[in-house]
Structure 1
Amino acid sequence: MKASARLRGGELLSLHVPPPVAAVPQAEALPLEVLHEDRDLVVVNKAAGMVVHPGAGHASGTLVNALLHRVKDLAGVGGELRPGIVHRLDKDTTGCMAVAKNEQALVALQKAFKTRAVEKTYLALVHGHPKAEGRIETLYGRHPVHRQRFTGKVKEGKSAVTVFRTRELFEGAALVEVDLLTGRTHQIRVHLSESGHPLLCDALYGAGRKAKGQVAEAQAQLGRQALHAWRLSFAHPRTGKVLTLEAPVPEDLTACMRVLRAGA
């Protein structure tokens, strides 16, 4: 039923009330691909479809639930609701995520992300052919009309900077490598979409883009936006040594690129 619908009286309404979210996330034995782990932190390759922490509509099955099962002393690091979390990925974005295992590492990593001392590189499949390289720098904020969306076309907002390089061209699409210099919600998806090159299969920011031919066939390999957090590089919070991790490109993106290359 739409919010604008008017009741005339006598209607029978059925309501679904979701179960309440547990006040404290519980440990769950969920699949988790670990790229690196030591006494201070763990870097995982987040799977598509996995929410980072419990919230409305996602009481369990999140990355936090999986981490609590693997890291026995994680509970309470930085708070009970989002233990160890220093940055996030969208539900359907795959790839590298660093998680702190103690308070000292948490503070150090939070500072590194805040001061842009962390290098975050993504791979994305986009519609069209972007230029060879570019820098997108805008003010950034929530869309004034569509409140679930964000935009880089606001008069007042936070700074958002995205740098990209086109790595491979296909018929009607391209593979781009993206450096995220700031970490705004949906930033890559918004910046590339508003530059005329939305991500393949991005229902929120690319719904108006109709795919044809090989691109349409390639999109059939995906059930999510074509975005992967490929590489993460930062100074280790204890040793200061630079730690660089890469997450393998997931099979759905690989399959998508195979189809695109076949038609190039």
Structure 2
Amino acid sequence: MSATTPNGAPASQPKKTPQIPKGKTELKILMLHGYTQSGPLFSSKTKALSKLLTKALSPAPYNLHPTLIFPTAPHRLRPSDIPGYTPSDGAEGAEAEEDDESDNWAWFRKDEATGTYLGFEAGMRAVATAIADAGGVDGVCGFSQGGAVAALVASALEKPHREPAPSPSPETDTSWLPLLRAANNDAPLKFCVVYSGFYAPPPTLGWLYAPPIATPTLHFLGSLDTVVEESRSQGLVDRCVDPTVVVHPGGHYVPVAKDWVLVLAGWLRKRYDEPAGTAKKEEGNL
């Protein structure tokens, strides 16, 4: 039986020393799953991406070996939290039983009445733990809710450090911020990749978007996405400096076909093979 944290989330596994091929530089990427997913499920769904990315980045002159890290969010979801859930007769007791068995997780829950993100702080502390367990990461990649969180993580790690605006509510908890920065050895991320992500509108998070996110960002949007409205994804794009946006002809998922992974690989290679300030000129040709 696998170990779990007190709230039932899969615990971080003991740190293993990755086998990095001789002559290669490890490229550590934090992979943040979407709402109702888990780290292992996200890993399973992106195996093709991982293999193709390794193949594309390992040759000279890049000599990079991607290590993808898949933590699980801390909040276990009830059946009623899952979109499309329809209760049946006598479901109340069954739902209580399923609470302890479901493998559906979230980085936060949205309070529909107030628009606030419940449990956001715990989600960010879980991210900090995953980064610390990895000994720091080079970049972050997230899908859907994980994409929204990925952008916020990149913003919080930027230098010069941005700081939270004074909050009128003494309940606002930003204790995750120093933990996150210490976890990544006080280093900013080199890149942030967002699949079907979105802008987080709670006022308490506004400081993470102003000034705009300067970390290089790549946004994949599905032209047939009916889960995240285009305006929500565009809201995140608009709050990034010089974002690269790619639209694929699909829905709400991470495209793992070779052509789309090569777009990602090409964009990542530009982070490592061109002098600072020159990569932006060519990204539109991907």
Greater share of strand residues, 1 or 2? 1
What TM-score comes out, normalization by structure 2 length?
A: 0.25
Greater share of helix residues, 1 or 2? 2
What TM-score comes out, normalization by structure 1 length?
A: 0.26
Larger radius of gyration: 1
